[in-house]
Structure 1
């Protein structure tokens, strides 16, 4: 895997948008939110402007022009450089091809599930089931109202579809673990039968 000068995935989002057309950062943020990309990228004005500055400093994007509309402040419009275009495509290709070992917080917490005791662990996981169920329902509604209604091509929401499938798998697994805790089939240190306390 390449040791990339820039690894912040918000930079990937900026580079992706500039594939379409030159934009200023305020427009970038608006377009990302309109396309529900705030589920994939942490978007706030400060981090977006910082990311743009880093991309300019590394020569991946460059200012194209500065414009002013009415009484609004001046806005700098940015575009890809040849280097930025190549880096974007190489980075995107690498991220898709090579699984990265990530450290999800839920996985870290699950490694110490036993500390809660069976009842508290089952209760906590049951609440997670509730949150996941709500998130899945909301995401299905979003996909149906955009892709299903034909207002956006499926390709534009493909990462949301991926997230939905990931949450569905997590939901099924979490429900199974709750069942195993409650019926005693998941062995628990400090209990005679492994189940309830």
Structure 2
């Protein structure tokens, strides 16, 4: 079970992962996060950075150690990680690695209400998704090949994992689309009828609840 954290936003963990190197101000933190691709790994919302850093300081994970001014720009507060922040980073990472947690995706949301679309349209849309996944996979493979020449594998395992997940999604999507194309998907006949005859969704749900879904 996920721990209820004082700052329960993955952006906080991303901040800890870069500021552990040395003290930084918020603009430098943001620059490092972008440079390391953390916005891809942790779905960062940049508009939250100021609030997250403040909350981490209140929680005792960061502390102010000074400030600097660049010309006419506003003064920039410099933060460093505390021992409590180091402990939080280790504990949070331990939890993320050890405890599996189902995470909803946009694709899962679409699949959950797939019946609102006619099967022939779904076949077409899945074809578009397959093409996009193939392109994404090719790009990630190129990125991994480039990284392999300059970085230890320790710093690319998240990209390897992302590639494995894309490969798995591509295999499943191809298989699912093939079932629709070949007509082997269960209830495909009724699914088509739903749209050809414009059957009311309320009637469909009533049939499903009674276990009387027709062929």
Scaled by the length of structure 2, what TM-score is found?
Answer: 0.81
Contact 2:118 2:192 (8 Å CA) reproduced: no
Structure 1 stretches of 5 or more lacking a match? none
Instruction: Show the 5 A alignment for 1:43-62.
Output: 43=44, 45-62=46-63
How many residues align structurally? 193
Moved over 6 A (4+): none
Compared CA separation, residues 133 and 83, structure 1 to 2 (3 A): same
- Cα deviation code 1:15-56 (max 9, x no counterpart): 111222111111111112112222113345431112101111
Structure 2 stretches of 5 or more lacking a match? 197-215
Deviation of 1:153 after TM superposition, in Å, equals 2.6
Tell me the distance in 1 between the aligned counterparts of 2:171 and 2:39.
25
Deviation of 1:193 after TM superposition, in Å, equals 9.9
Instruction: Show the 5 A alignment for 1:14-93.
Output: 14-43=15-44, 45-93=46-94
Greater share of helix residues, 1 or 2? 2
Contact 1:184 1:193 (8 Å CA) reproduced: no
Compared CA separation, residues 114 and 75, structure 1 to 2 (3 A): same
Q: Secondary structure at the match of 1:7?
A: coil
Tell me the distance in 1 between the aligned counterparts of 2:188 and 2:32.
51
- Cα deviation code 1:111-146 (max 9, x no counterpart): 22232121011111111111111111111122222x
Cα-Cα RMSD: 2.2
Scaled by the length of structure 1, what TM-score is found?
Answer: 0.88
- Cα deviation code 1:49-87 (max 9, x no counterpart): 121011112111111210124454422221112222111
1:98 partnered with 2:99? yes
Compared CA separation, residues 111 and 43, structure 1 to 2 (3 A): closer
